[in-house]
Structure 1
């Protein structure tokens, strides 16, 4: 029986098939950069399963359309979003159809997860699906890759599932972080600190300590990804595999959109420790230099836009409200999301 890659998508209009294709394509490309990889097709070594929750947002938005006529009016009127709407006046920013679409598929995903009961529904689905998977495959055979909004979903849900001191869903069974330890947990573009709510992020059981739910937890942020700069998650400790600056040069972007999951997974600085964990083989470390050269050869690397660079510099400055900073990042990069 093959081990499992359990994928958790982020904000945006994802399906199980679309996100699986995106991740599998990126990992297969990454494997090809190494001399003598264990496989050139990740699906020959792993069953790839996607945790999808986009339908929860879509069903809810359809109900809002029926009630309010359009999403912008609904988002302006929902009592649950009163506090965030007082901080951010988004209505004047939505002048075109494309802007309204991206507002619906990206921004609303984030605020609906954080400020409404949809977050609870998503976490309940996650814990149910993961528990079933662990029962059938064994926890050590499950490797999680979470991206963007999915990092907050994963941290929240795993904390609820594993932390016996967290008094949430007390009627549900808790997994033992020692006997049910996961193979690995990977955060790509971690936004958990911005969305911190039901779970205190700095105290989460999702950590690589002796009492954590996995001995291998990878926290990976790209220095050109504005969303990770709003309130960076930088856990401390020698056991953390923390890659907050995965590129030293600005041109090392595989796509124009720095938040793209492919910009993370195709980069050997990211995939080398993952492959080493997945295949339990140090040859990926030995082949890192070759893989880095192949990464540059096989990708039309592009420079970050001037707008992105300016935004990154602005976000490095302390102060300001996290949600206002997050929204400024969203507004700046929405054109790149379309590309």
Structure 2
């Protein structure tokens, strides 16, 4: 029985098929960069399972549309969003149909997860689906890759599913992190700090310590990804400095959109330690220099836009409200999302 890659998508109009295709294509490209990969097709070695939750947002937005006539009116009328609407004035930004579409497919995903009960529904689905996988495949055979909003979903849900204090009541549905330790958890473009709510991010059970719920935890952000700069998740301490874990910031852009999952997974800085864990093989350390050259040769690296660079510099200064800063990042890159 093959191990499992459990994929958790971020904001945007994803389907199981579309996100699986993005990740599989990126990982297959990455494998091809190495001189002696275990496979050039990740699906020959892993079963790919996508945790999809976009339908929860879509069904809710459809109900709001029927009740209020349009999504923008609904978003400004919901009591749950009153606090965020007082901070972020988005109405004047929605001048075109495309901007409105992007608002409903990306920005609302984030605020609906953080400020409404939809977050609870998403976490419940996550814990149910992952628990079934752990029972059928064994926890050490499950490797999670979470991207963007999915990093917050994953951290929150795992922190609920696993009992940090190891005081296990068999009737409460929680898992012992030692007995049921995952193979690995990978955060790409981690935004968990900005969405921090039910779980203190710095106290989560999702860590690589002896009592953490995962053998390996990889935390990767991009230097040119504005979303990760508002409240960066930068875990510190001895348990995060093990050589088997990385907390790196990438430099190269393979696509114009710096938040793109392919910008992360295609880069050998990310995939080399992942492949070593996935295949339990040292080949990837030995071939990483070749892989880096192949990565540079096979991707027409692009420069970040001046607007993104200026925003990155501005976000380094911790001034103002975090949600306003997060929305500024959203506005700066929305054109790149469309491309």
Q: Counterparts in 2 of 1:116-265, with a 5 A limit? A: 116-165=116-165, 172-240=172-240, 241-247=245-251, 252-265=252-265
Q: CA deviation at 1:298?
A: 0.4
Instruction: Say if 2:7 and 2:50, in contact at 8 Å, map to a contact too.
Output: yes
Instruction: Say if 1:114 and 1:197, in contact at 8 Å, map to a contact too.
Output: yes
Instruction: Say if 2:3 and 2:137, in contact at 8 Å, map to a contact too.
Output: yes
Q: Cα 1:166–1:115, aligned 2, differ >3 Å: closer, same or farther?
A: farther
Instruction: Say if 1:164 and 1:174, in contact at 8 Å, map to a contact too.
Output: no
Instruction: Say if 1:30 and 1:266, in contact at 8 Å, map to a contact too.
Output: yes
Runs of 4+ with deviation above 3 angstroms: 164-167
C-alpha separation in 1, matches of 2:153 and 2:313: 28
Instruction: Say if 2:181 and 2:213, in contact at 8 Å, map to a contact too.
Output: yes
Q: Cα 1:48–1:299, aligned 2, differ >3 Å: closer, same or farther?
A: same
Instruction: Say if 2:234 and 2:247, in contact at 8 Å, map to a contact too.
Output: no
Instruction: Say if 1:34 and 1:287, in contact at 8 Å, map to a contact too.
Output: yes
Unaligned runs of 5+ in 2: none
Q: CA deviation at 1:282?
A: 1.1
Aligned twin of 2:333: 333
Aligned twin of 1:112: 112
C-alpha separation in 1, matches of 2:250 and 2:338: 24
Q: Cα 1:189–1:280, aligned 2, differ >3 Å: closer, same or farther?
A: same
Name the SS for the 1:255 alignment partner. Answer: coil
TM-score (norm 2): 0.96
Q: CA deviation at 1:165?
A: 5.0
Q: CA deviation at 1:318?
A: 1.7
Deviations 1:109-142 (A, max 9, x none): 0000000000000000000000000000000000
Deviations 1:78-134 (A, max 9, x none): 000000000011000000000000000000000000000000000000000000000
C-alpha separation in 1, matches of 2:263 and 2:306: 18
Q: CA deviation at 1:245?
A: 1.8
Q: Over aligned residues, Cα RMSD in angstroms? A: 1.5
Name the SS for the 2:143 alignment partner. Answer: strand
Deviations 1:18-73 (A, max 9, x none): 00000000000000000010000000000000000000000000000000000000
Q: CA deviation at 1:171?
A: 6.6
Name the SS for the 1:221 alignment partner. Answer: strand
Deviations 1:150-202 (A, max 9, x none): 000000000000025599xx974110100100000000000000000011100
Q: CA deviation at 1:283?
A: 1.1
Name the SS for the 1:318 alignment partner. Answer: coil
C-alpha separation in 2, matches of 1:78 and 1:246: 38
C-alpha separation in 2, matches of 1:85 and 1:126: 28
Aligned twin of 1:73: 73
C-alpha separation in 1, matches of 2:311 and 2:268: 26
Instruction: Say if 2:177 and 2:214, in contact at 8 Å, map to a contact too.
Output: yes
Name the SS for the 1:143 alignment partner. Answer: strand
Q: CA deviation at 1:242?
A: 3.3
Instruction: Say if 1:189 and 1:259, in contact at 8 Å, map to a contact too.
Output: yes
Unaligned runs of 5+ in 1: none
Moved more, 74-83 or 237-246: 237-246
Aligned twin of 2:277: 277
Instruction: Say if 1:30 and 1:271, in contact at 8 Å, map to a contact too.
Output: yes
